[in-house]
Amino acid sequence: MIASNVLLLIVQAAVYFTVMMALLRSRRSIGIGVFMCALGVMHFLETYLSSVFYIQLPFGIVSPGSTVLFTGKLLMILLLYIREDALVARQPIYGLLIGNLLLVCLVMILRNHDTVSVVEGRLPDIAFIDDLGWLMVWGTLLLFIDAIAIIVLYERFGDAFGRHLGWRFLVCGAIVLTLDQVGFYIALHAVYGTPFSVFLGGWAAKMAATLVFTGFFVTYLKFFDDEKKWFTARPFKDVFNVLTFRERYFDLLDETSRDHLTGVEHRRSYDLNAPKILQDCLDQSRPLTMLVIDIDHFKSVNDRHGHQVGDEVLKAIAGLLRDNLRSGDYLYRFGGEEFVLLCDRLPAEGAVSMAERLCKLIKRYSLMYLPEKVTVSIGVAGAPEDGSSLAEIFQKADLRLYEAKNTGRDRVCGPVIAD
């Protein structure tokens, strides 16, 4: 019996996480309101189960409402905050609190009705609904405090755990849910006289549920999402104020700096940012190399297959380049079929080697996935050897690009490396 209870709880957690994450992931297409409504519906069931529905587990008597639904709800609010911002994360909390207060107010009015029995032996238990309503209000007040606490802890622990999202998620959940268990047990004991064993069992179950949900979250990041999108490093003062506007501003800025076809940064972004990148390297005596990359015979690709296929080729090449960037690389679509790649901390010899690898990669990819073989020619120049201004370096790289094209294409031409 105990083993089946454990298995059923894990199944409930898996179903809850799968559905809620699907709604969160689809919020751009179906709207965030669907996610929030689902969260609200579960809130009533969670409170009801927490007050009357208990099962036996190895570490005590627990309620699935508190173990699975409340733990899941709190962690989902944290995930909502990470993917959106504090303003959005506050909305379900305020909605639940106002809805629960409304429930209590309506029950206080309803209890004054003179009711009639429609089904023999069935009368409304207003007292139970009354107690449940106050429990829901208390639970939502705790949720409000919990949600603030888990968001603050999540940001505070950013430096401690670095890029280990799973540990950050697990520790924040464990701390806040421990405090929540204390607060909710006080209410349960006051209303229903619930024994202390329920507190201990509930706490152990919430810790286990946090571990299970963390496992689901880590698995989701590994197989279904890009983990980089989930990292945040927001100042504490921004958690509930400046954050919303600051984050949306930078999101908009990032979107407007990208080429709509290939998704890489465009020429205007190059003109704005590349001079500063070069100057920083010169000031700190770091090598900077520039790769000017041009697709060979691209016009003939358009002529033979049409511009739609040409666009697909451009997107494919840009995707390959983007997927092979280092952390200090900056990729721009310079115009037409030409790209510029700036490589911070990469000397000329390393840049030539990287360019040759990109040439081979693109040709091999095109033979497998594109309508015909596609090659690129690349010119390489570096600072300060080839110049101390962006125009000088680009001119040298562009001359070497034409040299690569004039000597057969599908090759790299860079500075002569002294032995």
Q: What is the pLDDT of residue 319?
A: 92
Q: What is the pLDDT of residue 335?
A: 87
CB atoms within 10 A of CB 350: 15
Compute and round to an integer the Cα radius of gyration of the chain: 30
Domain boundaries, given as residue ranges, for the chain: 2-110+124-246, 261-413
Whether 333 and 264 have beta carbons less than 8 Å apart is answered as: yes
Q: What is the pLDDT of residue 111?
A: 76
Q: What is the pLDDT of residue 367?
A: 92
Residues of the chain below pLDDT 70: 85-87, 121, 123-136, 158-159, 162-163, 192, 226-257, 417-419
Q: What is the pLDDT of residue 131?
A: 62
Structure-block tokens of residue 204: 């152990």
Whether 417 and 352 have beta carbons less than 8 Å apart is answered as: yes
Output phi, psi for 418, to 5 deg: -70, 140
Closest alpha carbon to 232 in 174, 149, 162: 162
Going 271 to 276 to 282 to 285, the CA torsion angle's sign is negative
Instruction: Give every CB contact of residue 180 below 8 A, 6+ residues apart in sequence.
Output: 70, 74, 142, 143, 146, 206
Q: What is the pLDDT of residue 22?
A: 92
Closest alpha carbon to 339 in 306, 383, 376, 370: 376
Instruction: Give every CB contact of residue 348 below 8 A, 6+ residues apart in sequence.
Output: 287, 289, 380, 381, 382, 385, 414, 415, 417
Residue with tokens 């603050």: 152
| Alpha carbon separation from 87 to 148, 169, 171 (Å, rounded) | 12, 20, 24
Give the pLDDT confidence of 227-245 residue by residue, as tens digits.
666 655 544 444 444 344 4
Q: What is the DSSP letter of 65?
A: I
Q: What is the pLDDT of residue 85?
A: 67
Give the pLDDT confidence of 113-156 residue by residue, as tens digits.
877 777 776 766 666 666 666 666 777 778 788 888 888 888 77
Helix (H) or strand (E) holding 198: helix 196-224
Class of 261-413 in CATH: alpha beta
